[in-house]
Structure 1
Amino acid sequence: MSEDAPKAIDLFCGAGGLSQGLTDAGFDVLWGIDSEENTKPTYDHNHDHEMVVGDIRETEPPDLGLEEGDLDLVAGGPPCPTFSLVGRSKINSLEGQSTTTDERHQLYEDFLRFVDHYQPKAFLMENVKGMLSAQNDDGEDVVDVISAQMEELGYEVTVKLLDSADFGVPQHRERLFFIGNRIGAENPDMDQWKTHREPKNEEEKQIKFNDAGGPEEEDQESLQAFSDTEEKEFPHFEESPGQREPWNTVADAILDLPPVSPSGDTPPTHAEEYTMGPVSKYQYWIRGRPGPDDWEGRTLYNHECRGHNMRDLTLYKLLGEGTSYIIGDIPEEHQPYRSDIFPDKLKKQNPKEPSTTVVAHLYKDGHMFIHPTEARSITVREAARLQSFPDDFEFPVARTHAFKQVGNAVPALLAQALGTAVRKKVLGVEEEESATLEADD
């Protein structure tokens, strides 16, 4: 990475989905922190900068070797489980504060404490959709309270709810983002950076084949195009991109991966090699390092499914296209759970749509993520693809920890879209400079 690359840190970094996306957007991520010890093997395996495990409430901002104000971006997704306790506390009163001194302490305040310390040119904070409708004990809108605290630190703030499917991720995942800058720039309007849209008809829901045989040989006019505009390499993020493509789907994301079976017979319970090349444009991209065409003999990481009992396997087989995708729609006598409370407790993912939101609960069971064509729940690799982690991003931990890390992550592709928008719109680092950075890496 070039010394001129914009610098960032990642708070509450987890396995590193946000770090991955920011790196792909041209940022040099210098440091990360997370409280979960099991995330460190994954983060260290996939990133080449320092990541520490610790309680951010008791962690002082480290010396990054930068002059004051030279950090370009503080990013992170602090958990905020108790919205009612969000108050108008002054950030400068948080120095040395812990949960033992103030039970109302919220982790987003530590995010702002790091912002106040480094005075970065910009910040990017992610949180759950529920914050939009939350109020504190005083009846104030939580989003307004937090935005006001950010503005007190000297930042112009924009708050936006985004669905990752609108940015090429094969998954519906709505998350709230706070974007701020203190350098007088205009924050990006992320509606203008969307690359994908809802399909207009059944034809647009079909898998988006990459007919040209790979990026190096591709003839742009021979690709199956969904617009009259010139085909762009995926992913391509720019403001006001023109015609958008239909959402990427579960089929686009995972159906090139070899089958696995919970029976342990044929096919096996896990696969360590690809058995065919990529088919869709998304698959070409996600296999893209070292190259999508160089797949024979390459290791396939984390493609292993959990075991299932015969009752679950039978129910899994029952669900699917032509019947129903959720167990709540089948006759009551076959319901394993109360249908009035858990209508979607068992859900088979529809291959013609983006997946439902990948959740950390996957580490407990996979009932809500049944494979679209096989009677089993999805593998870690398939969950990672739905979260837009590239195939060479390995999770070298137990399967339960891997599922949890994937489910908790910011989709890497959405992070790349946000990072690119901030880099171009706020920091003023244009495409030519980014290309130079990648060439120097």
Structure 2
Amino acid sequence: MTEEHLTAIDLFCGAGGLSQGLSDAGFETLWGIDHEENTKPTYEANHGCEMTVGDIREEDPPDLGLDEGELDLVAGGPPCPTFSLVGRSKINSIDGRDNQSDDRHLLYEDFLRFVDHYQPKAFLMENVEGMLSAENEEGRPVVETIKEQMRGEREVADLDLDLDYNVRVQLLDSADFGVPQHRKRLFFIGNRIGAENPDMEEWKTHRSPSNEDEKDIKYKTDPSKRSEESQHTLDGFVDDREEEEFPTFRKNRRSRKPWNTVADAILDLPPVSPSGDTPPTKAEEYELGPVSEYQYWARDNSEQEDWDEQPLLNHECRGHNMRDLTLYKLLGEGTSYIIGDIPEEHQPYRTDIFPDKLKKQNPREPATTVVAHLYKDGHMFIHPNEARSITVREAARFQSFKDTFEFPVARTHAFKQVGNAVPPLLAQALGTAIRTEIFDRPISQQEPQKAD
């Protein structure tokens, strides 16, 4: 651990998307925990710290070799299915259960228990957008209750906690931070050291396109070939920081780039059935070098001329029957079918249970939200120009995992881990903002990072 690195732990860590982003922002993750046994090979293959498999409700906080209050950050995303609309509908369909009685929505209390134990200077808690509309058994808004508990103004169940944190809650779309995917998540940022919590609106790097041309793939350009004229802003001033590499997170940047799209994210990856095999399955070598700015970053190879020597990991999709492949061909670019609209004889699901869609991803827009349901089928994530569902690597690209991030588990487990993760780029933006504003450690104090 160096003086520049701040310390963190990652609760409900999964594959480690949050750990990865915090690492890229200059934090050193000391420990992680998750209840899914299959996450351990993935986490340990990509992170250099201990990871525990276990039920956090039954785990005591481990000794990190730090004094009380010395840990800088407790981070994590308690899995709370009852706060999501999908989770509520599935729970309510189970005999004898409802979303209020399902105790998984109380896992955030164990997050607070760990915060109380370590008394970190700051915390970062992630959850689903549905928490904003959720109410507890007393009919009070869940978010307001949790904020009161974090401030020490309200008791936490039967726990005797000593919390006194200043808290900010924000709903963020990952596409606004360079992730080629629309994914809205709620973040609680708190600190006990008297600092102002960052307003992430001021840290956004990307925006919706202002015209059709801005939806085109964003080719990476050679900085040496940029003209002086192209570097001038509309105000007539040169902001050379806007020429930084992707991704650079800075507060109050003068201009933001158009959202990264499906094309920016994955269209350099080869077909998974280059010899025409049916069903399509897997490819293990790159056929072309990166083209877009995002693809160069995702390849994570400083010697880009050696791209053909880099192994292509996890570029594998599930097999498809001919009915599915034919249905996929029927879809135009960026279009979808509600399952119930398809003739009964072609239905992939029982329509009384699953109101899902067949969705072909639009290459000119960010991907739709990557979900863990991918481990069961890929009908909502059909490749934009191939008759197949997306691969694990393509899902990982949409989530902003670099190609060097390996998922050394069965394909079904890998899809689930990708879908459950916090996008590393979004985590990096949050970590950078927390590092800069709460801890007063400007990003320049880090070792140089690959910027935006």
Q: Normalized against structure 2, the TM-score is what?
A: 0.86
**In the alignment, residue 321 of structure 2 is paired with which amino acid?**
N
* Paired letter, 1:59: E
- Distance of 2:434 and 2:226 partners within structure 1: 29
> Which is further off, 259-268 or 241-250?
259-268
Query: Does residue 172 in structure 1 map to residue 200 in structure 2?
Result: no
- Name the CA distance, whole Å, in 2 between partners of 1:369 and 1:148: 39
Alpha-carbon shift at residue 315 of structure 1 (Å): 1.0
**Any conservation in 2 of the 1:270–1:303 contact (CA below 8 Å)?**
yes
Mapped to 2, the partners of 1:300 and 1:227 lie a distance apart of: 39
2:306 is paired with a residue whose SS is: coil
Q: Which amino acid aligns with 2:19?
A: S
d(CA) in 1 for partners of 2:369 and 2:280? 27
Per the TM alignment, residue 342 of structure 1 is displaced from its structure 2 partner at its CA by: 6.5
2:157 match? none
Which deviations, in whole Å up to 9, do the C-alpha atoms of 1:58-82 show, x marking residues without a partner? Answer: 1111111112211110000001234
In structure 1, C-alpha distance between the alignment counterparts of 2:398 and 2:339, rounded to whole Å: 25
CA contact (8 A) 1:270 1:305 kept: yes
Aligned with residue 386 of structure 2, among 363, 366, 374: 374
SS, match of residue 162 in structure 1: strand
Match for residue 261 of structure 1? 273
Match of 1:182 in 2: 192
Partner of 2:47: 47
Counterpart among 358, 361, 370 of residue 373 in structure 2: 361
In the alignment, the residues of structure 2 paired with residue 289 and residue 42 of structure 1 have an alpha-carbon distance, to the nearest angstrom, of 21
Superposed displacement of residue 391, structure 1? 0.5
Instruction: Indicate how the Cα distance of structure 1 residues 117 and 190 shifts in structure 2: closer, same or farther if over 3 A, else same.
Output: same
Relative to structure 1, the CA distance from residue 63 to residue 38 in structure 2 (aligned partners, 3 Å threshold; closer, same or farther) is: same
Distance 1:104 1:308, change over 3 A: closer
**DSSP-derived class of the 1:403 partner:** helix
Change (3 A) 1:69 1:380: same
**Counterpart for residue 98 of structure 1:** none
When residues 200 and 39 of structure 1 are mapped into structure 2, their CA distance, relative to the original with a 3 A threshold, is: same
SS in 2 for 1:208: coil
Spell out the pairing of 1:282-293 with structure 2 (5 A cutoff). Answer: 282-293=294-305
Structure 1 residue 318, shift from structure 2 partner: 1.4
- What is residue 27 of structure 1 aligned with on the other side? 27
Task: Look up the match of 2:445.
Answer: 433
Q: How high is the TM-score relative to the length of structure 1?
A: 0.88
Contact 1:220–1:231 at 8 Å: present in 2 too? no
Alignment of 1:324-363 (within 5 A): 325-328=335-338, 333=343, 336=347, 345-363=357-375
1:254–1:283 CA contact under 8 A, matched in 2: yes
Shift of 1:341: 8.8
Equivalent runs, 1:5-404 vs 2, <5 Å:
5-82=5-82, 106-152=106-152, 153-212=163-222, 219-221=225-227, 229=239, 230-261=242-273, 265=277, 269-321=281-333, 325-328=335-338, 333=343, 336=347, 345-404=357-416
Is contact 2:177–2:426 with CA below 8 Å preserved after alignment?
Answer: yes
Query: Distance in 1 between the 2:282 and 2:233 partners?
Result: 39
- The worse-fitting range, judged by mean Cα deviation, of 105-114 and 300-309 is 105-114
Whether the 8 Å CA contact 1:11–1:77 is kept in 2: the answer is yes
Q: Is the 8 A contact 2:273 2:283 kept in 1?
A: no
Match of 1:406 in 2: 418
* CA distance in 1: counterparts of 2:340 and 2:135, whole angstroms: 39
Give the Cα–Cα distance (whole angstroms) in 1 for the partners of residues 351 and 52 of structure 2.
Answer: 44
Relative to 1, partners in 2 of residues 1:258 and 1:333: Cα closer, same or farther, differing over 3 Å?
Answer: same
CA shift for structure 1 position 2: 2.3
Say if 1:371 and 1:378, in contact at 8 Å, map to a contact too. yes
Are the equivalent residues in 1 in contact too, given 2:4–2:26 (CA < 8 A)?
no
Q: CA 1:105–1:370 in 2, change beyond 3 Å: closer, same or farther?
A: closer
8 Å Cα contact 2:80/2:105 also seen in 1: no
Shift in Å, 1:260? 1.1
Shift of 1:106: 1.4
Deviation at 1:185, TM superposition (A): 0.3
Deviations 1:327-371, CA, capped at 9 Å, x for gaps = 249975486368899675100000000000000000000000000
Q: 2:431 matched to which residue of 1? A: 419
Backbone CA RMSD of aligned residues: 2.8
CA distances 1:252-278 after superposition (whole Å, capped 9, x unpaired): 000000111399628962111111110
For residues 276-323 of structure 1, the C-alpha deviation after alignment (integer angstroms, 9 at most, x for no partner) is 1100000011112344332111100000111111111011111122xx
Compare 380-389 and 257-266 and name the one that shifted more.
257-266
In 2, the alpha carbon distance for the partners of 1:284 and 1:127 equals: 30
Residues 289/193 of structure 1: CA separation in 2 closer, same or farther (3 Å cut): same
What displacement does 1:419 show?
A: 0.3
SS at match of 2:57: helix
Q: What percent identity do the matched residue pairs reach?
A: 71
